[in-house]
Structure 1
Amino acid sequence: MYATRDDLNAAFGPDQVERLAARPDVEDDAMTVARALSHADGVIDARLSVRFTLPLPTIPEVLRDIACDIAIARLASDATGLTDDLKRREDQAHASLKAISKGEMNLGLPAVTEGERPQPIVSSTGGKIFTRDQLRGF
């Protein structure tokens, strides 16, 4: 997990987090916050997996901030409270993740080398297994 509810509270204030997480059909807002944080984790993992082995050995502060920005925007959009500032922060978070995945921003963590990435399986049979002559009559 890149960020916690405590991180969200520290970044945006507990009142705002509670207000954005409140849902009329949900008694406890902890599940709503957990879903938003899980969404942020998925977005971050999708971007970082092309460059780093997951899970990361440590979580850099910049990723915690990115996770908070994505999660609070998710909460705000679900509660129809997405302000221009929150949208701008979410857009910047996505731009930062893109830059990290391209190697334009450095997290200070070891990147996956080419030899560690999954490689395609290539084999050679030496000749065609099925030819027209072999399949004639089927």
Structure 2
Amino acid sequence: MYATEANLVARFGQEIEELKLMHASASTAVQDAIQDATEEINGYIGGRYALPLPNVPSNLERMACDIARYRLYFQQPTEEVRQRYEDAISFLKMVANNKAHLQIQDAVSNQIVEDQPKNKPSTMPIGTSYTGGVFGDSTLDLMPTIK
């Protein structure tokens, strides 16, 4: 998970306790909201980053808190709560589209983790030379060409 109940309380104070009391399952309401936020975030970043992340960057923790807070409002959220949720989702969409980066640091080396898409083959640009494989160049030279 990207946030904890303590993170929510540190950011939003007494509001979290008040929201928790409004739910029928007050004992699990915050954990459920955090789990929902985590799953929503993973849906956006899972195509670019190997999950689970080695470290949680502070901006991702903040977004998880904003999303969880929004989820705790089961009735009408305030305009500020809705806007923070929409801003978080907008950023996550940019991450998913490779227009923004999470800046995740490796715990050991403190280097930024590469965010190359996983499970996607590398491709060669059109017009590059054949670099070998199942058939050698001599075999491929015997094949007819399309003109």
Using the size of structure 2 for normalisation, the TM-score is 0.71
Aligned runs of 1:1-80 on 2, under 5 Å? 1-13=1-13, 15-23=14-22, 25-26=24-25, 29-76=26-73, 78=74, 80=75
Deviations 1:1-31 (A, max 9, x none): 1000011011111x100111113633xx230
Structure 1 unpaired stretches of 5+: 120-138
Q: In the alignment, is the contact (CA less than 8 A) between 1:48 and 1:101 conserved in 2? A: yes
Counterpart amino acid of 1:18? E
Q: Are 1:20 and 1:81, in contact at CA under 8 Å, matched by a contact in 2?
A: no
Query: Cα deviations across residues 32-56 of structure 1 (Å, max 9, x unaligned)?
Result: 0000000000000000111111001
Runs of 4+ in 1 over 6 A off after TM superposition: none
Task: Report the TM-score, using the length of structure 1 for normalisation.
Answer: 0.75
Give the conservation status (yes or no) of the 8 Å contact 1:36–1:72. yes
Q: Distance in 1 between matches of 2:102 and 2:23?
A: 40
Report % sequence identity.
Answer: 30
Distance in 2 of aligned mates of 1:97 and 1:10: 23
**1:99 maps to what in 2?**
94
**Shift in Å at residue 101 of structure 1?**
1.4
Cα RMSD (Å) of the superposition?
A: 1.6
Structure ranking higher in helix proportion = 1
- What runs of 5+ residues in structure 2 fail to find an aligned partner? 104-112, 122-147
Q: Distance in 1 between the 2:22 and 2:5 partners? A: 17
Amino acid at match of 2:59: V
Task: Report SS of the residue matched to 2:28.
Answer: helix
Say whether the 8 Å CA contact 1:53–1:112 is kept in structure 2. Answer: no
